[in-house]
Each structure stands twice: as C-alpha cells, then as structure tokens.
A and B are shown apart, each in its own frame.
Chain A
C-alpha cells in the first residue's frame, strides 16, 4: 500500500528541547516536503527536497532543519523549539512531475510549552 508514515502522531515538549519528526514514504518518490497547518492559514511549506542531498527552504523555514540522506526518509528537526512552533505538521511526497498527486502523512500534532 502506498503510504507516507510520520512519527510521532502527537508530541508535547518543552521550549528548547531538540526534537525530530520522522517521515518515510514507500513510493520511491523524488520530491518530499514538510508543511505546517495553522487555523485560518491553510498549509504552508516549511522545506522541500527534490532528491537525495537536495533540500531547500519553503515559505516558513525559520526554526526548522531537514535532511535527505536516503530517498525514502525526510526528517524534520526542531533544534530549539518555541511555543510559536505549536502546530499540526504534515509530510508529503510526489513523484516529481507536474500535475501529480501529493501523498500526505497522517500528521504530527506538536505542542511546545
């Protein structure tokens, strides 16, 4: 079954404690991205990757890092989380062509206190 798997689904952490949200896809997709979803703002892209070792900033990259060492994995790293990073996060992957469907993970609800 084609899927994008994120972990954890829920996370409560304290300000400044480094965390990683994992994302893995089993479709051999080249393109992966991270979004955050906030009420009234829809989904905004944080970072994206067009292939292994190729990553770039999206619209709201401040406070986040990513890596793409393997094609299937695209972890999101918050080195020093702050309360304004409390949000719902989604990982997505596509095959890389135009007009193709994006497949989303189930989301990670992060609360930073």
Chain B
C-alpha cells in the first residue's frame, strides 16, 4: 500500500541555518504531496502542497519539489527562525478517489537562537 518515509528527528539547528527534511514516498498512480506543520499544543496545518511531478510548493520561505523519478518531496528552508520550531509531517493523498491522507512519522525541528 501507499506509504511515506521521513527522516527521523529531532533536528536541531541554530537560527539562520539551512534546513532540509527528507521525505520519500511509495504510491501507485499519481498522488498529491503535502507538508503539514504542527506547532506545540496545536493541530496540524497545511504548509505547502504539490499535485503533479516537478511542481514546487512554497509558503513562508519553505519549499518542496515533487520529484517523481526519485519519489521524493524534501522540505527546505534557506534560513530558519526560532518560530519555525515545530513537528513537520510529510503526507500523500492517493488517487483512490477520496481524501485519505497517509502521513510520515513526523520530524521534530528545534531552532535555537
């Protein structure tokens, strides 16, 4: 079945450092890919998405490119801030016809001043 694999955390960075969180997926057909972010004590919220190969999703300085050849959707940010500290989830939505999301295990990011 469909699945998502994320790099294990926690990831600890200093402010203004470069961030990469790796995400790879297994799916039949042409899934849509998402990154969700969970700030402490809150629910998940959509960070960015990409719906077809070579699409780049971007939001709040974060970017991810849908790479079908490597089945990857890595999250990047050029300069992280303390306020980016959160748990990041990669997810896919299969082409099965309804809205089920398959999530990765999540990667906790801690940014220090």
Contact = CB atoms under 8 A, between A and B. Distances in A.
B49 A42 contact: no
Interface in A69-113: 90, 92, 94, 96, 98-102, 104-107
B104 A42 contact: yes
Grouping DSSP codes into helix (H, G, I), strand (E, B) and loop, the A interface class, with mixed when no group exceeds half, is: strand
A44 B91 CA distance: 11
A104 B103 contact: no
B113 to A, nearest CB: 27
Contacts of B104: 42
Contacts of A50: 98
Interface residues of A, number: 27
Interface residues of B, number: 23
Given A42-B104, A99-B93, A94 B99 contact: yes
Contact of A99 (B4, B45, B51): B51
B89 A42 contact: yes
B11 interface: no
B105 interface: yes
Interface of A: 4, 31, 33, 35, 37, 40-45, 48, 50, 58, 90, 92, 94, 96, 98-102, 104-107
